[in-house]
């Protein structure tokens, strides 16, 4: 498998905050974008960037291995957010990104995220073997 991450390559995604992406404990009704949902969308932005720019074989993908994210501000349901990812380093199969999330008023999140390139069939074999060892399959 050949792959090459280009340092400095960026991706930007826009999406609207949905009710299933919010906290449920602050007050009744629609709430604010939750930290896990923001991080999930940051990770997906990085994953898409890797798929578009680094991986040429359809049997390969990437998985998240590290997140170091600060959630800086609350964002309501219905607001559009902008997710940004930039490749800052590439070592072996590991790709490190700078990530950010913004709404129409301010930066709502920032940090770094690392992903590891994987061969999906091999990853799945190891996963199934682990399920068996744990008595889950």
Residue 119, judged by CB atoms within 10 A of its CB (0-12, 13-18, 19+), counts as: middle
Q: Is 71 a catalytic residue?
A: yes
Residue 35 falls in the annotated catalytic set:
yes
* SS3 state at 120: helix
Instruction: List the catalytic residue out of 35, 65, 80, 125.
Output: 35
State the catalytic residue, choosing from 22, 43, 113, 114: 43
Q: Which residues pair with 59 in a beta bridge?
A: none
Active site residue 113: no
Catalytic annotation, pick one of 22, 71, 113, 114? 71
Which alpha helices (DSSP H) does the chain contain, by range? 35-53, 120-133
Supply the residues annotated as catalytic. 35, 43, 71
């Amino acid at each position: 498998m050949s792959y090459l991450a280009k340092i400095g390559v960026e991706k930007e995604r826009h999406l609207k905050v949905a009710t299933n992406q919010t906290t449920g404990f602050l007050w009744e009704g629609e709430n604010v974008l939750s930290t896990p949902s923001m991080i999930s969308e940051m990770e997906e932005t990085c994953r898409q960037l890797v798929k578009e720019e680094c991986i040429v074989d359809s049997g390969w993908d990437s998985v998240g291995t590290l997140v170091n994210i600060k959630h800086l501000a609350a964002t309501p349901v219905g607001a559009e957010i902008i997710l940004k990812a930039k490749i800052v380093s590439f070592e072996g199969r590991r790709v490190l990104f700078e990530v950010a999330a913004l709404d129409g008023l301010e930066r709502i999140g920032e940090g770094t995220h690392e992903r590891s390139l994987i061969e999906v069939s091999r990853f799945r074999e190891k996963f199934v073997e682990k399920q068996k060892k744990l008595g889950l399959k």
